[in-house]
Structure 1
Amino acid sequence: MRSRRWLAIVLGMAAVFAMQAATGSVDGRQADAASDGNAEAFAAIMQRHGIPGAQLVHVRDGHAEAFEYGVMRANATRPVAADTLFQAASLSKVVGAYITLRMVDRGVLELDRPLFEYWPSPRARDNPQARRITARMVLDHTTGLKNWEISPSNPAIDETPLQSLFDAGARYSYSGEGFYLLQRTLEHLTGKRWEQLAREEVFDVFDMPGSRYMTDPESATRNASGHRPDGSVMADRVFGWENTAWTLVTTAREYSTFLQRALYRGEGLTPASHALLKTPSSNADDHAVPVPVDPYIDWSLGVGLETVDGRVRLWHWGDNPGFKAFFMLDPESGESLVLLTNSENGLETHKDVLRLFLGEGEYPAVDWARSQS
């Protein structure tokens, strides 16, 4: 028992990395001490909640610290490394929102013109409300569509008619279907598969070589495995086609670069489009799942907004079977945190991790995300 406990500590600590960003500097001895303390505390959080493996990147004042913890698969000994790929789940949607705003800036589509006018999806043909859905409604989750009609991994999804829960644009209800409809529309308008669009608009631009929406056999050995709450390993998943709502695999380092350059600095966007990522567009009050923290949460065009004591932070969570992901970004200071875990227990770590790196607080975004999971 002692040797296994010692191995867990070694794996949690030995794979900790700190990286210095292009701007900003800190005293080396102070930075090392702070990094070591954070690494030990981070490892303790992961162990307490039974997380097999995780990656985290924290950026503050232009300085970035990256931490890799644990193992890729519980019944193996291969440690999580900087290039280990995790399922980012719904963090995929934020990349999709950025690409959409890029297309808006280029005049490829308008935010308030019905998507059906650009591409008459057979799934929306017999639903008048679905034919009214616009890109804005997709990005702020007011389409009126279900989250999913059927499992998004089922090939029959492209032939399954869309059902509306309420009138398009009437109110908030989280929907992956909306993002998938938007993806198919953009693919039609550009003549490109989503993987190619993501590569050209995001991955190649922001130095994200490992990120992708489809499973790549050549990098499969770098994929972390998902785990159930009891720590048992889940079957590895193969993404045979892209879905901008949930199939992104990436690393915490690569996704942190995307946050810093695309969401914080607004690279590649007009100032007006960049502002839309930080401006409330819907109140995120889901009538089907009311929660006490609703007053603190809004949705911009693609990103959750948490407002506490007048301070606004951007955030999103990811929830795939066996994987949980989360990010938070202060749009004023640029401080950000990305956490990827290969466990169903990942959401239980989020408040502890946020308090460790961003400071004490309640973080209602985590409570809101828990209500939706």
Structure 2
Amino acid sequence: MAGRLSELARKHMVPGAQLAVHRGGETLSVAVGATRSGGGEPVTTGTAFAFGSVSKAFTATAVLQLVSDGDLELDLPICEYVPELREPVDESMSSITLRHLLSHTSGLVADHELDDIEERSLLRYASSVAATRLLHRPGQCFSYANTGYNLLGRAVEAVTGMTWRTAVEDFLLRPLDIGPVFLHGPAGSPARSRAINHTVRPDDDRARPVGLFLPQTWAPASGLAGSAEDLAGFARLHMGLHPAANAVLGDDHRRDMHTPVPGADAFGMADGWGLGLACYTDADSRPGASPFDWFGHDGTVDGGTCHLRFQPETGTAVAFTANATTGTLLWSDIVEELRALGISVADYHPDVPGTATSPDPGRLLGDYLNGDTRFSLRPHCDGIRLSDRTGLVADVTLHDRMIFTARRVDASEAPYTGRFVLDGATGDVALMQLGGRSAQRLTTAA
């Protein structure tokens, strides 16, 4: 498998990658390439890669541990634990529960940041969130929110008296024999090397190193790093196969994390969402099998990707890390390779109609807002171009059922999938959902 992984990594200009497959009670782990393009150390099975949003699955597991211990309750308002949220500007925020936060149905803006990206205090972060307004009432629909997971980190701190980092390290990582690696602060395991992330542009012939931009208060959402082997060990916990599984998290609460939450329609990201884990439908499932029998999470950070899938029924887990933006394309190839070997890894494929359409663009053009993120849809040549203030520029292809795909013009990545949501009363476009995030329509472009 190492030879094939090396071949695919070269195809996609990925400097370094890891793949771990747990099946039949054994874990096969391979590592290829280097930690940095044109040099760096060889990637080993112990090299740490940024997990990105896969960190959320660890934070969610720590929260469910505290629920199991009776320190937290899933359906109590978060303000019961986080006093900074007891007098929010938006009164609807007072009804947000841990269940809402874990399933991305809180209505919080996606990516709230403090002015000082070096600020570490989750208390100050929560106070700042209290001054924002919700996109929708809690529980109404799915909108992926890093903000919510940073608040979960604050809840962990409030009830344990520990920092989020210390709690996750003591309650979860070390019991699973995972040497902790955090993207901020002192290295948890100084002996472990860390892969440098890279960007790959369509007009370039090599991967170029890129810095990692991650506010310190986003650690609960994206602040962990580790190896594909570490992720396989984490999956073994959730399948009840790790020696420490029952001591770390009971079977009932593992099932809670695997149960899709009603209303968590994660279009553009997954087939459903549980309490901290995405749910995936296996197209090869036998008749009568559960529609959601694979679980996991995906993570992307500046110049890096990470993917985790596991199937408790068969005890199978697949974990993948890469240090380039094109890791998402490499992951798709790996899924097909594993399927050919008889491991039918479930991956999300949104139901996008094959035929492109040309609806009246006047219904769609305009600005869409989620917190400080403003998306613009404007005419471009004979089509529509999507952009935001971070430098995202993508060409939009429209499909039936108000679905669209958007392909970046500056990077070789899989296209984003989104859809427009109509106002039930007026029939006008009210929301744009992109990559699992909802943004409210503000203006109509000329």
Identify which of 217, 224, 241 aligns with 1:248: 224
CA distance in 1, matches of 2:115, 2:314: 37
Partner of 2:199: 228
Contact 1:146 1:175 in 2 (8 A): yes
Secondary structure (helix, strand or coil) at the match of 1:78 reads: strand
Letter in 2 for 1:301: L
Partner letter of residue 315 of structure 1?
A: G
* Structure 1 residue 357 displacement after superposition: 2.4
**Could you say if the C-alpha distance between residues 366 and 323 of structure 1 is closer, same or farther in structure 2, counting changes exceeding 3 Å?**
farther
Q: Secondary structure at the match of 2:258?
A: coil
Post-superposition CA distance 1:30-56 (Å, at most 9, x none): xxxxxxxx2221111111111011111
User: How far has the Cα of 1:300 moved from its partner?
Assistant: 0.9
Instruction: Check conservation: 1:51, 1:343, Cα contact below 8 A.
Output: yes
Tell me, in whole angstroms, the C-alpha distance in 2 between the residues paired with 1:49 and 1:40.
15
Structure 1: which amino acid aligns with 2:198? Answer: H
Aligned twin of 1:206: 176
Matching residue of 1:178? 148
Whether 2:258 is the aligned partner of 1:278: answer yes
- Which amino acid in 1 is paired with 2:348? A
Residues 17 and 322 of structure 2 are in contact (CA less than 8 Å); yes or no, is this contact kept in structure 1?
yes
Taking a change above 3 Å as real, the CA distance of residues 124 and 67 of structure 1, as seen in their structure-2 partners, is farther
Unmatched 5+ residue regions in structure 2?
Answer: 202-206, 352-413, 418-434, 437-446
- Return the alpha-carbon distance in structure 2 between the equivalents of residues 221 and 332 of structure 1: 33
CA distance in 2, matches of 1:89, 1:324: 7
Q: CA deviation at 1:303?
A: 0.5
Looking at structure 1, the residues matched to 302 and 76 of structure 2 have their Cα atoms a distance apart, in angstroms, of 35
Residue identity in the other structure for 1:278: H
Other structure's SS at 2:175 match = coil
Map of 1:195 onto structure 2: 165
Q: Report the Cα distance in structure 1 between the residues aligned to 2:141 and 2:193, rounded to whole angstroms.
A: 41
Higher helix share: 1
Q: What CA distance in whole angstroms lies between the structure 1 residues aligned with 2:279 and 2:217?
A: 30
Q: Is the 8 A contact 1:84 1:251 kept in 2?
A: yes
Is the CA contact (8 Å cut-off) linking 1:98 and 1:262 kept in structure 2? no
Q: CA 1:282/1:320 → structure 2, altered by over 3 Å: closer, same or farther?
A: farther
Q: What's the TM-score, normalizing by structure 2?
A: 0.68
Preserved CA contact (<8 Å) 1:278 1:331? no
Deviation at 1:68, TM superposition (A): 0.6
1:23 matched to which residue of 2? none
Conserved? CA contact 1:350–1:366, under 8 Å: no
Equivalents in 2 of 1:52, 1:304: separation in Å?
28
Residue 317 of structure 1 aligns to a residue in which SS? Answer: strand
Q: Does 1:307 align with 2:307?
A: no
Q: Which protein is bigger by CA-based radius of gyration?
A: 2
Q: Distance in 1 between matches of 2:333 and 2:318?
A: 13
Which of 343, 358, 364 lines up with 2:324 in the alignment? 343
CA contact (8 A) 2:150 2:217 kept: no
Q: Structure 2 vs 1, CA of residues 248 and 151 (structure 1 numbering), >3 Å: closer, same or farther?
A: farther
Matched AA of 1:314: F
Q: Secondary structure at the residue paired with 1:209?
A: coil
Separation (CA, whole Å) in 1 of partners of 2:257 and 2:310: 12
2:288 counterpart of 1:325: no
- The structure, 1 or 2, with the larger RCO (C-alpha pairs under 8 Å, 6+ apart) is 1
Q: Structure 1 residue 125: deviation in Å? A: 2.1
**Deviation readout 1:283-321 (Å, 9 max, x if unpaired):** 5435xxx55xx8x70111111111234451012100111
Q: Which structure: greater strand fraction?
A: 2
Most deviating of 173-182 and 126-135: 126-135
Distance 1:152 1:139, change over 3 A: farther
Report SS of the residue matched to 2:83. coil
| Residue 155 of structure 1, CA deviation | 4.4
Shift of 1:94: 0.5
Partner of 2:102: 139
The answer to whether the 8 A contact 1:183-1:194 is kept is yes
Counterpart selection for 1:82 from 29, 45, 51: 45
CA, structure 1 residues 343+329, in 2 after alignment: closer, same or farther (shift >3 Å)? Answer: same
CA distance in 1, matches of 2:304, 2:295: 21
CA pair 151-226 structure 1, distance change in 2 beyond 3 A: farther
CA distance in 1, matches of 2:236, 2:8: 25
| Cα distance in 1, alignment partners of residues 118 and 86 from structure 2 | 14
TM-score, normalised to structure 1, is: 0.80
Q: Contact (CA 8 Å) 1:283, 1:299: kept in 2 or not? A: no
Q: Please state whether the residue corresponding to 1:174 is helix, strand or coil.
A: coil
CA 1:362–1:108 in structure 2 vs 1: closer, same or farther (change >3 Å)? closer
1:339 offset after TM fit, Å? 0.3
